A and B are shown apart, each in its own frame.
Chain A
Amino acid sequence: MRRFVLRRAAYAALSLFLLSITIFLFVRVTGDPTVLLVEPGASQADLDALRTELGLDRSLFVQYGTFVRDLVRGDFGRSFYYRTPVLELYVSRLPNSLLLAAAAMVFSLLIGIPSGIMAAVRVGGWWDRGGKIFALLGLSMPSFWVGLLLILFFSVYLGWLPSSGSGTALHVLMPAFALGWYFAAAHMRLARSSMLEVLGSEYVKLARLKGLPEVRVIAKHAFKNALIPVLTLAGINLVLMVNVAVVVETVFAWPGIGRLLYEGIAFRDFPVVQATVLLGGSMIVVVNLVIDLLYAVIDPRIRYER
């Protein structure tokens, strides 16, 4: 197990390396990076200065070295719009994003897993049918549209909740609901289908034949294995949550990372866009590592090592 942990950690490091290379190459292969990295309306002298600084006349290896050196120093460049280091901006927005994602994730798991399991245990029952409609609606309604409808109803017509901004608990409600809505449905759907698959398997039949009480069969034998795909999805969903948050945060003017990214696009502030992608990616590499480790703990059948 220790070797396994070390190995996965090494993979994560490799992923970070590949991540930086991917970003680095995409920016350079698709054209002249100075066009992206220099402020709109900059003079020829500025362009030349940046070209020298990036070392575009030198080999890609040297350029990549410079790129990584700056990253390791925490130098992600300066925002054109805010005139401050991008990293500072990012760190100042992070707590807001985490708060929103945490609220949305708690909401989605609390609804998704129990309702999915219950739907699988009583297939075709009223819970299953109701859950199915909920899941379908959840998967089909884009979170930002849900957000817009929430604003239309609770802010414009009823005037109960603030339509945008942050600060109070009331401000979190609508964005968290809009963001978690989709994931609640996704978690429920997968929890149900994976539970069904597990319940049809031989070892569950054996547990039943042994005469174990049904509650125990489900809670002990089936539940753990049914959780695996849900956990995988939840890991992937952390990736997705950052994504969807871009749009939800834009809708509600929630001052998180997503909003920062949106401003980066809107103001053609490329250093901000690049840093958001890089830092977001790095965070998810770490999450993937944790998921992989949990995977191995839960299901010994998955033999990564012989």
Chain B
Amino acid sequence: MSASPASPSATTGTPTVFRLPRIRTEGLPLVPIAILVVLVFLAIFAEWIAPYNPEIGSLSQRFKPPAWAPGGSTEYLLGTDHIGRDVLSRLIFGARVSMMVGFTAVVIAGVLGSTLGILSGYLGGWVDQAIMRVTDTWLALPALTFAIFLAAIVGPSEWNIVIILGAVYWTRYARVIRGEVLSLKERDFVRLAIVAGCSKWTIMRRHLLPNVANTAIVLATLMLGVVIVSEAALSFLGVGVPPPKPAWGLMLADGKKGLMAGYWWLTVFPGVCIVLMVLAANLLGDWLRVKLDPQLRQL
């Protein structure tokens, strides 16, 4: 795995009891990039790649197992679901939904949350009070519950989900980054910057932003996963992407109907897709973290 390299320098390091972390000299994390590229490719060209229409099936073909399982045929490589729709085609179109929802929501949440977190932590005073009270309140509304509540009011749709998730998750960034800034602003380099006559804006942009970028990216990594899983969960519960559309979470909900009968492919494949996408995002984020963290780089 690209995320766990055996650092050559670690074995020849100084003979202290404890070894400090070394620079990781690995190149690009090929596996996660490959997974993401394939998924983006599938999402864009779904119409040309998918063998069947993802929303229409034939009832005579229902619950067909995958090609290699007994009773399966190469006609439906990954089998069919409870109304005879091709699982493979639905998975391919599902990539589009997850990509769109995941990336957009994380960007909305990240930009909003980081900005407010830095402002809140550094400026302090009434700005901090105002932002943190809103953050606390929104955090106090459990994210998925809050999303369900909003979806119940405005009605579920693909774009509503993006806005709902972005609006719900920015508070995580704001709170954690504010905490980081609170600690950073007591450090010498910020005091020196103040003595050197930097404006508040410059300090926040030049001195604080790069120092919280590490945290923001680790958060965004966790967040992309959380958001994709949230979308899947909302769809699973029936308040996410509306039914005929192929979303992975929706497929899991449909798959549960055949679970006790042993129709495993309806539960396994959509889950594998979610895991692959989230895993790729996490691995990539992990690699970025090492590249972007000045503290790790200096050692």
Binding site for B on A (CB under 8 A): 11, 14-15, 18-19, 22-23, 26-27, 30-31, 36, 121-124, 128-129, 132-133, 136-137, 139-142, 144-145, 148-149, 151-152, 155-156, 163, 186, 193, 196-197, 199-200, 208, 214, 229, 232, 236, 239-240, 242-244, 246-247, 250-251, 261-262, 265-266, 270, 273-274, 276-277, 280-282, 284-285, 288, 301-303
Q: Mark B242-267, 1 if CB is under 8 A from A, else 0.
A: 00000000001001100110101001
Contact status A214-B17, CB under 8 Å: yes
Contact status B172-A236, CB under 8 Å: yes
Contact status B143-A123, CB under 8 Å: no
Contact status A243-B142, CB under 8 Å: yes
Contact status B140-A140, CB under 8 Å: no
Given the interface contacts A133-B1, A144-B236, A301-B183, does A277 sit within 8 Å of B267 by beta carbon? Answer: no
Contact status A124-B7, CB under 8 Å: yes
Q: Is B278 an interface residue (CB 8 A)?
A: yes
Kindly list the 8 A-B residue pairs having the minimum CB-CB distance in the complex, ordered from nearest. A243-B144, A145-B271, A18-B137, A140-B279, A140-B278, A242-B142, A281-B140, A129-B4
Across the interface, which residues of A come within 8 angstroms of B239, CB to CB? 265
CB distance from B226 to the nearest CB of A (A): 8
Q: Which of B149, B179, B225, B295 contacts A26 (CB 8 A)?
A: B149
Given the complex of chains A and B, what is the CA–CA distance between A242 and B144 in angstroms? 8
Given the complex of chains A and B, what is the CA–CA distance between A148 and B259 in angstroms? 8
Contact status B145-A280, CB under 8 Å: yes
Taking residues whose C-beta sits less than 8 angstroms from the other chain, chain B's interface range is: 35 or more
Q: Which of A23, A30, A149 contacts B271 (CB 8 A)?
A: A149
Contact status A265-B237, CB under 8 Å: yes
Given the complex of chains A and B, what is the CA–CA distance between A200 and B150 in angstroms? 43
Q: Is B139 an interface residue (CB 8 A)?
A: yes
Binding site for A on B (CB under 8 A): 1, 3-4, 6-7, 10, 17-22, 133-134, 136-146, 148-150, 152-154, 172, 175-176, 179, 182-183, 186, 218, 222, 225, 229, 232-233, 236-239, 252, 255-256, 259-260, 262, 264, 267-268, 271, 274-275, 278-279, 282-283, 286, 295, 299
Contact status B282-A246, CB under 8 Å: no
CB distance from B40 to the nearest CB of A (A): 18
Given the complex of chains A and B, what is the CA–CA distance between A240 and B1 in angstroms? 29
Given the interface contacts A199-B18, A236-B139, A277-B145, does A148 sit within 8 Å of B271 by beta carbon? Answer: yes
Across the interface, which residues of B come within 8 angstroms of A26, CB to CB? 149-150, 153
Across the interface, which residues of A come within 8 angstroms of B136, CB to CB? 11, 15, 18, 285, 288
Find the residue from B142, B150, B229, B264 having the highest chain A CB count within 10 A: B142
Q: List 26 A-B contacts (CB under 8 A).
A: A15-B136, A18-B136, A26-B149, A132-B1, A136-B282, A139-B278, A140-B278, A144-B233, A144-B252, A145-B274, A148-B267, A155-B260, A156-B260, A229-B176, A236-B172, A236-B175, A239-B139, A243-B142, A250-B236, A265-B152, A265-B238, A270-B152, A273-B148, A273-B152, A280-B141, A284-B141
Contact status B238-A266, CB under 8 Å: yes
Contact status A232-B179, CB under 8 Å: yes
Contact status B133-A142, CB under 8 Å: no
Contact status B141-A152, CB under 8 Å: no
Given the complex of chains A and B, what is the CA–CA distance between A282 and B140 in angstroms? 7
Q: Is the interface of A mostly helix, strand, loop or mixed?
A: helix
Across the interface, which residues of B come within 8 angstroms of A242, CB to CB? 142, 144-145
Across the interface, which residues of A come within 8 angstroms of B222, CB to CB? 139, 186
Contact status B267-A11, CB under 8 Å: no
Across the interface, which residues of B come within 8 angstroms of A23, CB to CB? 149
Given the complex of chains A and B, what is the CA–CA distance between A123 and B5 in angstroms? 11
Contact status A139-B282, CB under 8 Å: yes
Contact status B264-A239, CB under 8 Å: no
Given the complex of chains A and B, what is the CA–CA distance between A36 and B141 in angstroms? 20
Q: Nearest CB to that of A292 among chain B residues?
A: B136
Given the interface contacts A26-B150, A156-B262, A265-B238, does A19 sit within 8 Å of B140 by beta carbon? Answer: yes
Q: A30-B154, A129-B4, A273-B152 are in contact. List 16 more A-B contacts (CB 8 A).
A: A15-B136, A18-B136, A19-B137, A140-B225, A141-B271, A142-B229, A142-B278, A151-B260, A186-B222, A208-B18, A236-B175, A240-B143, A244-B144, A247-B237, A265-B238, A285-B140
CB distance from B249 to the nearest CB of A (A): 8
Given the interface contacts A123-B19, A240-B143, A302-B183, does A14 sit within 8 Å of B4 by beta carbon? Answer: no
CB distance from A244 to the nearest CB of B (A): 7
Given the complex of chains A and B, what is the CA–CA distance between A277 and B268 in angstroms? 32
Given the interface contacts A243-B142, A265-B152, A302-B183, does A132 sit within 8 Å of B295 by beta carbon? Answer: no
Given the complex of chains A and B, what is the CA–CA distance between A196 and B238 in angstroms? 42
